[in-house]
A and B are shown apart, each in its own frame.
Chain A
Amino acid sequence: MSPTVRVKTLTIDGQAVGAREDQTIMQVARENNIFVPALCAIEGLTPVGACRLCIVEVKGVNKLLPACATRIEEGMEVTTNSERVANYRRTILEMLFSEGNHICSVCVSNGHCELQTLAKKLGMTHVRVPYRSTMRRVDASHERFIADPNRCILCTRCVRVCDEIEGAHTWDVMGRGINSRIITDLSQPWGDSDSCTSCGKCVNVCPTGALFEKGKAVSEMSKRQEFLPYLTLMREGKK
């Protein structure tokens, strides 16, 4: 924190809070134990505002803003959980469930999945939009890990952790729109990747069972993400 950073005050869900001017709404909300759902944001990586689950209402702004990628401002009045936003969030979750094949009972991440957890927490009980039933090829060419793109929600955490923290930039996104998918190197098999260091950071930040370790059976794949804030802190300290 540089000495010139100023402190501002705002309200989140009616609660008056203080914050540094360089913080996002999400950071401040979490510091104050106010829950804001998120799938693409993760502490320690650059926010991208892609999953749209963290959208919040800000008084005087006519569009909904992603809490993860919006800086706080003096006097802001934020509402994180209006009826309207809660409904939107549920529909967005339904869209995610319809996009891939999220069949929890056969998934390695069952019980440890952020998508599943959020769906339960936000009260998403049905998927009203038609399932798209994808048939994407599973990549098991890496000696330790497997990528199942059918469970991928394109949060791009793997892309960012590989680029920003590991510095390898093995992962990226290919294609457009509904045909987007994550790839390793130039869409080569993961096992053939020259840039991959096999560090496993991507597997651990993946919110679902899309990236997992070989040898894990249903429900066995829990992820460890504690390393991330720690690594970020170390880096900032070095600067």
Chain B
Amino acid sequence: MIAEELSKTAAAEREAQAQFEHRINVCVAASCLSSNSDKIKSALETEVKKKGLEKSCQVRGVGCMRLCSRGPLVSTETQGEDETQPASVLYQNVTPEDAPALVESLKGEPVKALECPTDTPFFKSQVTIVLENSGKIDPERIEEYIAVEGYATLLKALTTMTPAEVIAEISRSGLRGRGGAGYSTGLKWTTVAKANGGSRKYVICNADEGDPGAFMDRSVLESDPHRILEGMALAAYAVGASHGYIYVRAEYPLAIKRLRAAIRQAERNGLLGTNISGTTFSFTVELRLGAGAFVCGEETALIASIEGKRGQPRPRPPYPAESGVWGCPTLINNVETFANIVPIIREGGDWFAGIGTAKSKGTKVFALTGQIHNTGLIEVPMGTPLREIVYEIGGGIPGGKAFKAVQTGGPSGGCIPAQHLDSPVDYESLIQLGSFMGSGGMIIMDETSCMVDVATYFMEFCMSESCGKCVPCRVGTAHMYDLLQKITRGEATMADLDLLLEVCDVVKNTSLCGLGMGAPQPIFSTLRYFRDEYLAHIEAKQCPAGVCKIHEGNEEVIA
């Protein structure tokens, strides 16, 4: 497909959509789907048919509308007579039985009982770049993506920009990797572009997403899969690769299904494959399904897994940029990193660099979960204070409970207490607070959480997800877990705490990969801010939050 054909397809699709006076959008991303949004969609379709409105009202599935805790979500749009912006209403907790009322409402007043206000901070404070199409287009139809200028950026870059210009734009944007460590994306692309690939280079999209509670990447893949393909194609063009892999965990069947469909559609339209848009650039994408091991998100383990080997990390250097999959120079980026590429090339690096803080540019998507009113997917500019996320966007803590900590960064991250709620969310600030940006999990805890218990939970995760290759991580995580358990059972002494810290130090500094290096982090951060809780378990044999089962009177049993 060349640029003219692309704009023709886009125009045709927009015109087809304009035929409909009304549109009903049903969220068909995993969360709403799990509460039967597909049944709502078919009920709505039946109802529209029954009323004979097929010509004027379109029912379609769209991606995640973000406020997952109020799902299933449905929105209706009505084309005004003269307004360009259609009037839109969002509905929450919809059931299939609500279909008649919803269809009826198109002609009159909104269904008050189901209405979900959208003028709230949850929606107002968000800035959507990564999620710009999420909840707005049907992820299973390439035409809808093309209608919102999809693939136009790729074709523009292929015909008017050199690979070096693409990289320069990414460098200028200040984009940093969203997979965890926040490495400069422009710098990584430059390295891979300069690497002497001989015949082949690869681009990999890391969609392993293993952090407990995280679902940002899944949501992007389910809601807007073509954006990832287009971002990867731009990356491939920039670094000189012709083949790509998307490594996605098999536990994401919906994301896989939509990616498969998207790849097929893009290939059929000549937007992936050989000589894209009549240029010399060729790019194919293959899916690789992971079995869900957390460590397979680590880049060298992921590459081993793609090659069909046991998913274990290897020492770096050499970095994948020099020697990656099949020994070839390989660019590996996270899903959300790739999702930022199209807007950056479309709007320019300077535009992107204007959002966020001095060192952390753009927005970050978080999966907001835990003890908070509004759980779901949020996208906020870098530098947004934690307080705003918790109390405004998140709507505060339910049940009149007090906020205790927010956990970011997954198992390599930490817990940030109330006194630091005014800190901005960016890479450096989080590290300073003893936490970590990670991939975007954000778990809110209230006063009913015991911080030793939280640390134990993450340590159990690290222990069972350790690949077992290097000694400190394999054995050390097991010891740390045992020692933490001893504390939560009220059986530990201060000597155990000292030993725990010593093991933490060794594991952090001598482990082979980031899993081991980061594993002690939840202990360090909870000890830093909640040392008194550790001491209460050890010295007073009490769990202040009342979570840990401490068997009092061990002595009595002995006596």
Interface residues of A, Cβ cutoff 8 Å to B: 48-52, 55, 63-66, 69-71, 88, 91-92, 95-96, 98-99, 128-130, 132, 153-154, 172-173, 175-180
> What distance in Å separates the Cβ of B501 from its nearest Cβ neighbour in chain A?
12
**A51 vs B473: C-alpha distance when bound (angstroms):** 10
**A52-B471, A176-B468 given; A91·B512 CB < 8 A:** no
Q: Is B452 an interface residue (CB 8 A)?
A: no
Q: Is B314 an interface residue (CB 8 A)?
A: yes
Q: Is the CB of A51 within 8 A of B503?
A: no
**A91 vs B412: C-alpha distance when bound (angstroms):** 22
Beyond the given A70-B315, A95-B471, A95-B506, could you list 15 further A-B residue pairs with CB under 8 A, ordered by the A residue number? Answer: A48-B314, A49-B314, A49-B512, A52-B471, A64-B509, A66-B512, A95-B476, A130-B479, A154-B474, A173-B468, A176-B465, A177-B463, A177-B468, A178-B477, A178-B478
Residues of chain A within 8 A (CB-CB) of B463 are 177-178
Residues of chain B within 8 A (CB-CB) of A64 are 509-510
Segment 498-515 of B: residues with Cβ below 8 Å from A = 499, 502-503, 506, 509-512
Q: Is B162 an interface residue (CB 8 A)?
A: no
A-B contact pairs, 26 of them (CB 8 A): A48-B315, A49-B470, A51-B470, A51-B471, A52-B512, A55-B510, A63-B509, A66-B315, A69-B314, A69-B315, A70-B317, A91-B506, A92-B471, A92-B472, A92-B510, A95-B506, A130-B479, A132-B478, A154-B471, A154-B474, A177-B463, A177-B466, A177-B468, A178-B475, A180-B467, A180-B468
Residues of chain A within 8 A (CB-CB) of B472 are 52, 92, 95
Q: Is the CB of B474 within 8 A of A177?
A: yes
Q: Is the interface of B mostly helix, strand, loop or mixed?
A: helix
**A176 vs B470: C-alpha distance when bound (angstroms):** 11
Q: Is the CB of A178 within 8 A of B470?
A: no
How many chain B residues touch the partner (CB < 8 A)? 32
**A154 vs B466: C-alpha distance when bound (angstroms):** 14
Residues of chain B within 8 A (CB-CB) of A50 are 469-471, 512
Segment 412-456 of B: residues with Cβ below 8 Å from A = none
Q: Is the CB of B471 within 8 A of A96?
A: yes
> What distance in Å separates the Cβ of A1 from its nearest Cβ neighbour in chain B?
20
Q: Is B491 an interface residue (CB 8 A)?
A: no
**A221 vs B467: C-alpha distance when bound (angstroms):** 31
Interface centre among B470, B473, B503 (most CB of A within 10 A): B470
Residues of chain A within 8 A (CB-CB) of B47 are none
Q: Is B293 an interface residue (CB 8 A)?
A: yes
**A49-B314, A64-B510, A99-B475 given; A175·B468 CB < 8 A:** yes
Which chain B residue shows the least CB distance to A46?
B314
Residues of chain B within 8 A (CB-CB) of A65 are 315
Interface centre among A52, A55, A132 (most CB of B within 10 A): A52
Q: Is the CB of B477 within 8 A of A177?
A: yes
**A44 vs B503: C-alpha distance when bound (angstroms):** 32
Q: Is B38 an interface residue (CB 8 A)?
A: no
Q: Is B267 an interface residue (CB 8 A)?
A: no
**A91-B506, A180-B474 given; A128·B499 CB < 8 A:** yes
Which chain B residue shows the least CB distance to A179?
B468
**A130 vs B310: C-alpha distance when bound (angstroms):** 30
Q: Residue A176 contacts which of B466, B482, B509 (CB distance < 8 angstroms)?
A: B466
**A51 vs B471: C-alpha distance when bound (angstroms):** 5
**A63 vs B502: C-alpha distance when bound (angstroms):** 17
Q: Is B464 an interface residue (CB 8 A)?
A: yes
Residues of chain A within 8 A (CB-CB) of B466 are 176-178
> What distance in Å separates the Cβ of B465 from its nearest Cβ neighbour in chain A?
7
Residues of chain B within 8 A (CB-CB) of A172 are 310
Segment 472-528 of B: residues with Cβ below 8 Å from A = 472-479, 482, 499, 502-503, 506, 509-512, 517
**A49-B512, A88-B510, A99-B475 given; A177·B465 CB < 8 A:** yes
Residues of chain A within 8 A (CB-CB) of B469 are 48, 50, 154, 180
**A88 vs B510: C-alpha distance when bound (angstroms):** 8
8 tightest CB-CB pairs across the interface, nearest first? A180-B468, A177-B466, A95-B475, A49-B315, A178-B478, A69-B315, A91-B506, A52-B510
